[in-house]
């Protein structure tokens, strides 16, 4: 049986993903989007889709998102937070009931024209990717002028959601949860770049 680390290396070799560096400038109008950084997805034991134990990828993502939010707030640049929130009588197949409106799960963890949109959040391969693809599609159709770039900050994103059967298989030796996260995280970033987003792994403020 091929080990998961070898599979990860093969995946990254077959689907290479080059990361760039983003140097923030006072001459560009930025906007920061935080996707689903809420208790129900990020706080250990907070809900059925929350991590069951400490997850370094998620902790690093929260730290980087907080750093960016503080920077954008100091610069008085716009920050948009998208919160996953559901009504009890509206199921979201195939997921169990989660992040119900008004619950602690749906809370955050702790009208300018925008030229560059910086995106961070969870999950890289689900809501972050969905937002990026939708935004790029709207941009292509001329709805978001003067938006020029959609930038995904890889260290400000995390993922952990994959089919239950995959999780069970991983416990039988096919790979750790961390390795599975890395695969889905890479795939989400790769698909976002394929659709036209820029992927950066480092950001420096003005």
How many distinct structural domains can be found in the chain? 1
- pLDDT for the residue 133: 96
The CB density around residue 109, as the number of other CB atoms within 10 Å, is: 18
Q: Per the domain annotation, does 17 fall within a domain?
A: yes
- Residue 126, exposed/middle/buried by CB under 10 A (0-12, 13-18, 19+)? middle
Q: Per the domain annotation, does 102 fall within a domain?
A: no
Q: Per the domain annotation, does 178 fall within a domain?
A: yes
Q: What is the 3-state secondary structure (H, E, C) of 133-189?
A: HHHHHHHHCCCCCCCCEEEEEEEEEECCCCCHHHHHHHHHHHCCHHHHHHHHHHHHH
DSSP annotation of 202 reads E
Successive 10-residue mean pLDDT values, the chain, 206 residues: 78 92 95 92 88 89 93 93 82 82 76 82 94 93 88 93 52 58 93 97 90
- pLDDT for the residue 173: 45
In this structure, are residues 93 and 48 in contact, taking their beta carbons and an 8 Å threshold? Answer: no
Q: Per the domain annotation, does 60 fall within a domain?
A: yes
Sequence-distant (6+) residues with CB within 8 A of 30 are 24, 72, 77, 114, 115, 116, 117, 118
Backbone Cα Rg of the chain = 17
Q: Per the domain annotation, does 194 fall within a domain?
A: yes
Q: Per the domain annotation, does 99 fall within a domain?
A: no
- pLDDT for the residue 144: 84
- pLDDT for the residue 180: 80
The CB density around residue 179, as the number of other CB atoms within 10 Å, is: 15
In this structure, are residues 200 and 65 in contact, taking their beta carbons and an 8 Å threshold? Answer: no
14 to 103, 189, 196, 198: CA distances (angstroms): 42, 14, 19, 19
Q: Which of 185, 151, 154 is nearest to 32 (CA)?
A: 151
In this structure, are residues 88 and 105 in contact, taking their beta carbons and an 8 Å threshold? Answer: no
Looking at residue 155, which CATH number applies to its domain? 3.40.50.850
Q: Per the domain annotation, does 59 fall within a domain?
A: yes
Q: Per the domain annotation, does 118 fall within a domain?
A: yes
In this structure, are residues 111 and 144 in contact, taking their beta carbons and an 8 Å threshold? Answer: no
Containing domain of residue 71, as a range? 4-84+111-204
């Amino acid at each position: 049986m091929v080990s998961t680390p070898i599979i990860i290396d093969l995946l990254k070799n077959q689907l290479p993903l080059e990361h760039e560096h983003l140097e923030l400038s006072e001459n560009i109008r930025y906007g920061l989007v935080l996707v689903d950084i809420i208790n129900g997805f990020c706080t250990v034991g907070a809900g059925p889709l929350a991590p069951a134990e400490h997850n370094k990828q998620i902790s690093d993502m929260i730290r980087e998102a907080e750093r960016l939010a503080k920077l954008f707030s100091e610069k008085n640049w716009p920050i948009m937070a998208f919160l996953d929130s559901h009504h009890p009588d509206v199921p979201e197949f195939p997921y169990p009931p989660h992040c119900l409106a008004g619950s602690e799960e749906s809370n955050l963890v702790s009208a300018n024209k925008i030229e560059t949109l910086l995106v961070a959040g969870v999950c890289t391969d689900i809501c972050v990717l969905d937002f990026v693809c939708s935004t790029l599609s709207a941009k292509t159709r001329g709805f978001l002028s003067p938006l020029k770039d959609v930038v995904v900050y890889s260290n400000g994103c995390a993922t952990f959601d994959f089919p239950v059967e995959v999780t069970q298989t991983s416990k039988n030796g096919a790979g750790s949860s961390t390795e599975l996260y890395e695969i889905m995280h890479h795939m989400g970033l790769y698909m976002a770049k394929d659709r036209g987003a820029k992927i950066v792994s480092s950001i420096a403020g003005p």
